[in-house]
Amino acid sequence: MTEKKVPFTKEEIEKIIEKYPTPFHIYDEKAILDNAKAFLDAFKWASGFKEYFAVKALPNPAVLKLLAGLGIGADCSSIAELYLAEMAGIRGEDIMFTSNDTPAHEFKKACEMGAVINLDDITHIEFLEKSLGHLPELLCFRYNPGPLKGGNDIIGKPQEAKYGLTRQQMIDAYKISKAKGVKRFAMHTMVASNELNPEYFAETAIILFQLAADIYKETGIEMEFINLGGGVGIPYKQEQDRIEWEDLSALIKKAYEDVFNQLGYNPKIYFELGRAITGPYGYLVTKAIHEKHIYKEYIGLDACMANLMRPALYGAYHHITVMGKENAPCDYMYDISGSLCENNDKFAVDRKLPKIEIGDIIVIHDTGAHGHAMGFNYNGKLRSSELLLKQDGSVEMIRRAETLEDLFATLKF
């Protein structure tokens, strides 16, 4: 079971709202840092262990800078994310740049920054070489294990996913790269999304470690590091349990020792978690502004799926707290909706909650990853501000809300 709490009282959030109107996302600095430290501590046994935060989860340089203070790097997949990392003072091999149908100018920017280039296809070797005029000293390749692993609705089954190289392509890619003068080699995969079974990641680790061992035996190439990707889930529902970092670490350690103690070399282990680092510690704060009584009971908010699209996109569950009514009985069933001209613009369907009245403050949990980041402007909806609840209790705005001027700035009329 997972207890769903908010890091502020009704009175505290009311004061915040006086300065920063709803809707907004607010992130708990202390909880994020404590969680990240616990993750790093769990893998102290692994020499050179590194976490690269998945920028796509929460692309705000204020948060990236906080994590960089712990030695955490940035996992980037676009030129915008490279610039965000740069804003946060993250450069060089503290950046993993994972290609995905990437244009040449983005590879050039990544190379200029000294990022680790993680190629998504064997044909990208030639493309990268033409784009840069040379190949970097270090190359990493993303493995797609195909039928060896299952998937889910978010990331898809590996066999049907557009990402990564096959096993034989991996072997060939390292041989080609070595022949072209590449000196350092690494391996990566990413086959999970929001997975709560730690055994799943142990299975993935075994597959990658064994592949690295087989490549070493066939080519003599030693992997400098093996990036196990991300995909560790969070308990969106109260009845779910989180993955404990120590449990995950113990499983990975056993898989590592089983392979590399026999092989005689010790590649570093990297991860690129996003959701699991920040997800539980973000909250969408909004207000009830309408009620509707037709075939169902509706509560309309001043937020909409432009602020949080996961429920509409995946049917995802996000816990809801009605501030001041945390201990009230959940005797009313509502659809909680937004103002977008789409019927799936709902944060909850047939959700039992305390009686909601106009003006009530509604807090939607677990928006610290893939919340604000997935925002959009359909219907001309403006993206909300982002706030950081500091460790001393103060609040800092780390992104202002969009204005109509922002929205129209690109128009030529």
Other C-beta atoms within 10 Å of 8: how many? 20
Token duo for residue 13: 């959030």
CB within 8 Å of 275: residues ≥ 6 apart: 54, 57, 194, 230, 232, 233, 234, 369, 370
Would you call 376 helix, strand, or coil by DSSP? Answer: coil
CB within 8 Å of 379: residues ≥ 6 apart: 306, 339, 340, 341
φ/ψ (deg, to 5) at 373: -60, -30
Active site residues: 341
Paired residues of 139 in beta bridges = 117, 185
Would you call 148 helix, strand, or coil by DSSP? Answer: helix
Other C-beta atoms within 10 Å of 160: how many? 8
Rounded distance between C-alpha atoms, residue 270 and residue 256, angstroms: 12
Rounded distance between C-alpha atoms, residue 59 and residue 76, angstroms: 10
